[in-house]
Structure 1
């Protein structure tokens, strides 16, 4: 883990009916925020939304339209439950998928649990923003983020018009 000066901004969204309704306190969002800050990202938002496609799309569209958030982590709603709609909401917003990041997260997760094969997490970009779906559990979200973290800065440099050389 390499700490760097702030060059990129970030936001964290947690998609969870129970956390949104106050039934369960969210631990995933604060953990992701702390980790991003330790890497030098300026985390400007941490929001909890219900497992509702339009709610997720609305927040994502707002964040990407401001053209100021480079990394958007969306935790939760990536499974097979009837209210797991994060991938569909993300696909509605992104312009291009980044399947290599999706595959890397699933591959690494399969070494931990056979249930990782059920993940429908999406990673993609729109404008100057990279949107990453992560599992809802604090442990799963952190494990997945750490898998792709080594490529994050380079991906952001490319998305924001920087040098293509790593």
Structure 2
């Protein structure tokens, strides 16, 4: 792993940071730009349909980013030899945060799929109920956790 990192450190760090940008930045855009612009749509069926489509497209970008973030993190943790150093606690905390974020993302993914099934059956109140916690709690929680993880990553790169 050290040789891999030494030969491709710029690319590995770039892919790691880009993955975090896509995930965390994407959630910020979805929550604070797209979500509010969707409020202007009066027809509930169109609003739900567009929300589901926006989330589906977002997931198509985020899922590969989550996988790439994990792979590049593992490479960096091993190659940079954090284990056994005082900085290892930051590494562990950062990985705990990304793990919690991934678990929350899985819940978001499942709720979106349930909402899609309800929408396809014409059960709009059920679809809306499945999506409600995403904008209210789940995505904002992941945004905060993601920003904390980014700060920890910057801290680690500073040493």
| TM-based fold match above 0.5 | no
Larger radius of gyration: 2
Which structure shows the higher strand fraction? 1
TM-score norm. by structure 1 comes to 0.28
Q: TM-score, normalised by structure 2?
A: 0.29
Q: Which has the higher helix share?
A: 2
Q: Work out which structure has the larger RCO, using CA pairs closer than 8 Å and 6 or more positions apart in sequence.
A: 2
